[in-house]
Structure 1
């Protein structure tokens, strides 16, 4: 999983094999076995949560919102055809 950034032990990134056809831009947030997936477009939206508390998901949503541009740029760079 390419990690775009880390925050308080959480890894924010995506997988290189994001489906065929490729899924829209999103980010996985992992800490240990817990994983949450957020869509980045058109709005930030929780796709699923496995193991994070509701309070923590709200905090992670705020972090993803603040860093959305960085995440989108990393996604575009990683998956660019050129």
Structure 2
């Protein structure tokens, strides 16, 4: 299961239900995909196919929606 958190600018931001415990978000775009760590600070974990500009755009969107993403994470992965 991979619930979508939000879509914006051609990107889909989502989680995989059965993955590692460290807080992160996945990003999908027609050109590629990426994974960003959310803690201890926002940072790129991996990327395939996205340009540096697209990575920066995705990271900026994550920063804007960070509270929403963290809330979705805590709702989806209650501890």
TM-score exceeds 0.5: yes
Q: Deviations over 1:19-66 (max 9, x none)?
A: xxx331100000136110000011101001111001111111111111
1:8 is displaced (CA, Å) by 2.2
Aligned to 2:14: 13
1:39-58 alignment, distance < 5 Å:
39-58=37-56
Cα RMSD, aligned residues only: 1.3
Q: What SS class does the counterpart of residue 72 from structure 1 fall into?
A: helix
- Which structure 1 residue ranges, 4+ long, deviate > 6 Å from structure 2? none
Contiguous gaps of at least 5 residues in structure 2: none
- Separation in 2, partners of 1:74, 1:44: 16
- Separation in 1, partners of 2:12, 2:53: 18
Computing the radius of gyration from Cα coordinates, the structure with the larger value is 1
TM-score with structure 1 length normalisation? 0.87
Aligned residues: 78
Contiguous gaps of at least 5 residues in structure 1: none
